[in-house]
Chain A
Amino acid sequence: MARVVVDVMLKPEILDPQGQAVQRALPRLGFDGIEGVRQGKRFELEVAEPVTDEALARIHELAGTFLANTVIENYTVRVEEGAAA
């Protein structure tokens, strides 16, 4: 079994009010010097078989059509090494 991680983030030009709300709370909590926060999503896919190039291509397709809305979001796909033994 292998784990494939898909990270989804709002594109830089899309306003992220949730990230802004998190950032505004930081000074109250005593965290200084953090100039920006953006909030995203992480998907961990447990893949039954070894992650072939073909399987990875399918996961890219899944990420681009379903996990992320590419109108407003970017995504990255990576195989997590040594995970889920």
Chain B
Amino acid sequence: MTGGGLGRIGVVTFPGSLDEGDARRAVRLAGGEPVALWHREKDLRGVDAVVLPGGFSYGDYLRCGAIARFSPVMEPLLEQARAGLPLLGICNGFQVLCESHLLPGALTRNDHLHFVCRDQRLRVERTDTAWTADYARGQEITVPLKNGEGGYVADERTLDALEAEGRVVFRYAGGNPNGSRRDIAGICNEAGNVVGLMPHPEHAVETLTGPTTDGLGFFTSVLKRLVTA
């Protein structure tokens, strides 16, 4: 952690990002210092962790996240994430992480073709990642889900490997909203510092605006990790 102050968490804005404001607010409510990062700058400003927010980067043209993945900011980000920097991809951010091959698999059109916007129950499957330490294993949380292309797919061998290595971090509970294979809502990399999920924890951090405050744990988890690191 730099300067011994608050944990500084970068939130990247791509053209078409929507949820960077809420992500920065979630960081602040969790006790951290949000730092705005711009897609065209190859500079992470010395942050301790990074969030790739939801939205429709580059209008979802070509494939969701496919163009954002080649943004200048992604160059140092991929390098540092491979070296252990905590990185969270939410919704479109998850799509960017899959397109970057930092996480395996891909997100495809919801099997019923409808855009989904609802409060979604999730089961926390893994609690030793950078972003989930403040949850209990098997705990159910409710956070908003809103996407048209949230169906998680990967080949059977990859899915088996994810299960065997305990890299399924969240599963949909109370019904699969989009046809995701094996009810997968979120996964992590081998080291557990990179987590991606389709639902939106940053929209569930205050009772005034969210269905719950269940999402706050993502941000408190990573901040605690920075303090003890």
Contact = CB atoms under 8 A, between A and B. Distances in A.
Given A66-B70, A69-B106, A71-B106, A15 B111 contact: yes
Contacts of A15: 108, 111, 151, 153, 179
A72 B154 CA distance: 8
B110 A17 contact: yes
A13 B181 CA distance: 12
A67 B108 contact: no
Interface in B84-115: 98-99, 101, 104-106, 108-113
A71 B109 contact: no
A17 B105 CA distance: 18
Nearest to A68: B63
A48 interface: no
A76 interface: no
Q: How large is the interface on A (under 10, 10 to 19, 20 to 34, 35 or more residues)?
A: 10 to 19
B112 A17 contact: yes
Contacts of B29: none
B155 A17 contact: no
Interface in B52-68: 62-63, 66
A14 interface: yes
Interface string A1-36: 000000000100111011001000000000000000
Contacts of B109: 17-18
Nearest to B63: A69
A66 B99 CA distance: 9
A72 B62 CA distance: 14
A21 B113 contact: yes
A66 B100 CA distance: 10
A18 B153 contact: no
A17 B154 CA distance: 16
Contacts of B105: 71
A67 B110 CA distance: 21
Nearest to B67: A66
Contacts of A14: 108, 153
Contacts of A13: 155
A43 B101 CA distance: 23
A18 B106 contact: no
Most buried by A among B62, B113, B179: B62
B113 A17 contact: yes
13 contacts: A10-B108, A14-B108, A15-B108, A15-B111, A17-B109, A17-B111, A67-B62, A69-B63, A69-B66, A71-B98, A71-B106, A71-B154, A72-B153
